[in-house]
């Protein structure tokens, strides 16, 4: 192998590397070419940082190069100085590529120092196959375009390209303990909710319409057991089309999104559930914010993508089947910014603010389970039929340093001119997660959210996958005046194991304290319960 590199070493001027991304690289299987793997590689400070079949997050200022399915020769050991050669032709098919590395070698790094780089620099995110420019990414993240073309569920025609994707989430909940006060408040949890379930089966099509100069993208996803827990509705469906959206680019960096989609107000809500550090969103997010709504969102970025913004108008008349005048209308907006980050964004501070106004034509209600689907509502204000308007304020603070992520959100909702006077409900959560195997969540500048965990060494590549541990505390208060919906505090300890990009298993343990009356007119009591939920996620990408 040293002889193969020798012509390049003699030819090139040695240069150091800070952070560099090399995409679209084939790792050959000499015994069976059908087992070749297409990967992306990240080198940081001369060390091999990540080798992954998943997409790599875009990082401003970090150069990215397309190997165009070049074949890699060398040893890939994460955490050690990078050393490999990429050939533009497969030496199994053309032996000259192996004999003449001076002519056929397109990229070489020796002991962490780049010796040759003839690869084309990627200047447009869409060229990397991740051309999702909408504010809210698809419910199930897409693999990169070049990886998709190898799959049966991908179609790329002259005018349309699309990908069929699906995910199934399997849960098993066990309530370990419950005191007498809790049993009086919510019933016997062990007898009713100690069981397994299909938490959700999601499937759909995402793709692009290529007849325009800048392709339009579309999303169509449905789900079973899609429970829409929101502040404006108390209905659930066994099946729901929970995303049908068309994203239209305009100007330099702006997008119009039309259809049923997530409202842009909250980091947890904007992030796909299966990619969060915990199995369920925090109780305040589920209590005060709707899952999805029908409307129009305009979004964009400013100041070299240091700031993202989105604003939208919504009305659920199309989804509910009623008339537009009967539905409640909402105005929603979110602004995020990065006041501080290092050049490689390994140390990053995120701030966010969201606002939601509703004319509350359909009244309002707030309820929440204890951050698990296998439980009754622990909190419930009941239905408030007469509300002049509601306003919700959302505040975000996140600090991510390498594999550590500290995140906090506060939500404040005000209901004006109800039969009980003006009401105010609130909640917050603080969470910390750490990826034990060293990977770092990327940052999505367009959406102002943190990306899914990128797996450096999946188990199908003789690795351990990605391990993440997290701790969260949440508090929700639905007590104000004569409305006594209860107060709830939850401690959650979570462990996630991503075996590879499409397989994950996790376990969450929860300690729940509920301060609520057993029935109206009684003094509130403090009930305590503990339980855990194990989960398996399978994704078709």
Of 393, 468, 481, 383, the residue nearest 434 (C-alpha): 468
Task: Give the C-alpha separation, 3 to 13, whole Å.
Answer: 18
Q: Does residue 434 share a domain with residue 340?
A: yes
Task: Give strand pairing partners of 494.
Answer: 470, 508
- Give me the CATH number covering residue 468: 2.40.160.10
Q: How long a stretch of residues is the chain? A: 541
Six-digit token string for 219: 């999303």
- Percent of the chain's residues with pLDDT above 90: 48
Reply yes or no on whether the pLDDT at 366 is more than 80. yes
pLDDT for residue 145: 39
Of 218, 178, 216, the residue nearest 194 (C-alpha): 178
Structural Rg of the chain based on CA atoms: 25
Contact 234, 393 (CB under 8 A): no
Q: Does residue 131 share a domain with residue 72?
A: no
Give domain status of residue 189, yes or no.
no
Q: Does residue 137 share a domain with residue 65?
A: no
pLDDT for residue 425: 97
Q: Does residue 375 share a domain with residue 335?
A: yes
Contact 128, 55 (CB under 8 A): yes
E strands present in 6-80: 15-16, 19-27, 37-44, 47-52, 64-75
61-65, 152-156, 224-228, 434-438, range with the lowest pLDDT? 224-228
pLDDT for residue 143: 44
pLDDT for residue 14: 38
Q: Does residue 329 share a domain with residue 468?
A: yes
Six-digit token string for 395: 């505040």
E strands present in 344-480: 347-358, 367-368, 379-380, 389-401, 404-418, 421-435, 443-444, 449-450, 466-480
pLDDT for residue 75: 82
Q: Does residue 21 share a domain with residue 159?
A: no
Give domain status of residue 207, yes or no.
no
- Give me the CATH number covering residue 6: 2.30.40.10
State mean pLDDT over 227-232: 44
Residue with tokens 């904007």: 270
State mean pLDDT over 183-199: 91
Q: Which helix (H) or strand (E) holds 536?
A: strand 524-540
pLDDT for residue 100: 84
Residue with more model confidence, 522 or 180: 180
Reply yes or no on whether the pLDDT at 129 is more than 60. no
Of 312, 315, 347, the residue nearest 328 (C-alpha): 315
Give domain status of residue 388, yes or no.
yes
Contact 172, 373 (CB under 8 A): no
Domain boundary among 121, 138, 153: 121
63-77, 133-147, 212-226, range with the lowest pLDDT? 133-147
Give domain status of residue 170, yes or no.
yes
pLDDT for residue 318: 60
Task: Give the C-alpha separation, 230 to 368, whole Å.
Answer: 9
Task: Give the C-alpha separation, 387 to 418, whole Å.
Answer: 5
- Non-local (6+) Cβ contacts of 523 within 8 A are 517
Q: Does residue 402 share a domain with residue 321?
A: yes
Give domain status of residue 534, yes or no.
no
Task: Give the C-alpha separation, 486 to 300, whole Å.
Answer: 39
Q: Does residue 348 share a domain with residue 244?
A: yes
State mean pLDDT over 96-108: 86
Give the structural domain span for 256.
Answer: 125-175+213-511
pLDDT band at 371 (very low <50, low <70, confident <90, very high): very high
pLDDT band at 147 (very low <50, low <70, confident <90, very high): very low
Q: Does residue 84 share a domain with residue 40?
A: yes
Give domain status of residue 234, yes or no.
yes
Q: Does residue 226 share a domain with residue 98?
A: no
Task: Give the C-alpha separation, 5 to 111, whole Å.
Answer: 12
Reply yes or no on whether the pLDDT at 505 is more than 60. yes
DSSP secondary structure of 219-281: EEEEEES----BTTB----SEEEEEEEEEEEETTTEEEEEEEE--TT-HHHHS-GGGSSSSS-
Q: How many domains does the chain have?
A: 2
Give domain status of residue 193, yes or no.
no
Q: Does residue 295 share a domain with residue 416?
A: yes
12-26, 64-78, 372-386, range with the lowest pLDDT? 12-26
Residue-wise pLDDT tens digits, 17-29: 478 899 989 998 8
Q: Does residue 157 share a domain with residue 70?
A: no
Give domain status of residue 354, yes or no.
yes
pLDDT for residue 5: 39
Of 471, 472, 458, the residue nearest 504 (C-alpha): 458
State mean pLDDT over 167-183: 94
pLDDT for residue 350: 98
Residue with more model confidence, 54 or 148: 54
Domain boundary among 98, 121, 144: 121
- Percent of the chain's residues with pLDDT above 70: 87
Reply yes or no on whether the pLDDT at 151 is more than 70. no
Reply yes or no on whether the pLDDT at 392 is more than 60. yes
pLDDT for residue 128: 38
pLDDT for residue 300: 93
Reply yes or no on whether the pLDDT at 306 is more than 80. yes
Count CB neighbours of 441 within 10 A: 23
- Non-local (6+) Cβ contacts of 99 within 8 A are none
């Amino acid at each position: 192998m040293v002889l193969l590199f020798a012509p390049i070493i003699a030819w090139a001027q040695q240069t150091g590397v800070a952070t560099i991304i090399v995409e679209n690289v084939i790792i050959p299987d000499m015994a069976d070419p059908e087992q070749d793997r297409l990967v992306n590689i990240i080198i940081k400070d001369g060390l091999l940082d990540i080798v992954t079949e998943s997409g790599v997050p875009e990082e401003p200022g970090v150069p990215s190069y397309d190997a165009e399915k070049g074949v890699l020769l060398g040893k890939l050991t994460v955490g050690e100085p990078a050393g490999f050669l990429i050939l533009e032709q497969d030496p199994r098919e053309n032996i000259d590529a192996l004999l003449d590395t001076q002519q056929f070698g397109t990229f070489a790094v020796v002991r962490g120092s780049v010796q040759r780089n003839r690869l084309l620099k990627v200047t447009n995110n869409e060229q990397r196959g991740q051309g999702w420019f909408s504010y809210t990414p698809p419910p199930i993240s897409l693999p990169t375009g070049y990886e998709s073309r190898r799959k049966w569920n991908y179609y790329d025609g002259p005018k349309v390209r699309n990908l069929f994707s699906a995910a199934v989430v399997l849960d098993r909940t066990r309530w370990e303990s419950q005191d007498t006060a809790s049993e009086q408040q919510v019933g016997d949890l062990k007898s009713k909710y100690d069981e397994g379930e299909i938490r959700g089966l999601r499937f759909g099509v995402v793709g692009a319409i290529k007849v325009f100069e800048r392709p339009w993208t579309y999303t169509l996803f449905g789900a079973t057991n899609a429970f829409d827990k929101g502040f404006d509705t108390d209905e659930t469906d066994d099946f729901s089309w929970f995303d049908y959206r068309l994203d239209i680019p305009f100007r330099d960096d702006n997008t119009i999104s039309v259809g049923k989609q997530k409202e842009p107000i909250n980091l947890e809500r904007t992030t796909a559930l299966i990619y969060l550090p915990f199995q369920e969103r925090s109780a305040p997010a589920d209590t005060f914010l709707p899952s999805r709504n029908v409307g129009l969102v305009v979004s964009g970025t400013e100041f070299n993508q240091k700031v993202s913004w989105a604003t939208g108008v919504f009305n659920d008349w199309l989804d509910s089947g009623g008339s537009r005048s009967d539905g409640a209308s909402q105005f929603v907006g979110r602004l995020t910014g990065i006041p501080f980050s290092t050049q490689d964004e390994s140390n990053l501070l995120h701030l966010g603010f969201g606002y939601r106004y509703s004319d509350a034509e359909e009244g309002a209600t707030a309820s929440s389970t204890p951050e698990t689907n296998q439980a009754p509502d622990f909190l419930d204000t009941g239905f408030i039929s007469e509300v002049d308007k509601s306003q919700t304020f959302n505040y975000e603070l996140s600090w991510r340093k390498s594999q550590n992520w500290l995140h906090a959100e506060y939500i404040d909702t005000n209901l004006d001119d109800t039969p009980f006077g003006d009401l105010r409900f609130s909640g917050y959560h603080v969470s910390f997660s750490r990826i034990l195997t060293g990977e770092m969540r990327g940052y999505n500048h367009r959406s102002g959210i943190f990306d899914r965990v990128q797996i450096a060494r999946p188990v199908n590549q003789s690795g351990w996958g990605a391990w993440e541990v997290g701790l969260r505390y949440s508090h929700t208060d639905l007590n104000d005046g004569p409305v006594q919906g209860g107060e709830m505090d939850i401690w959650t300890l979570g462990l996630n194991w991503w075996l590879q990009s499409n397989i994950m298993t996790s376990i969450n343990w929860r300690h729940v304290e509920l301060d609520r009356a057993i029935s109206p007119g009684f003094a509130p009591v403090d009930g305590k319960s503990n339980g855990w939920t194990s989960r398996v996620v399978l994704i078709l990408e």
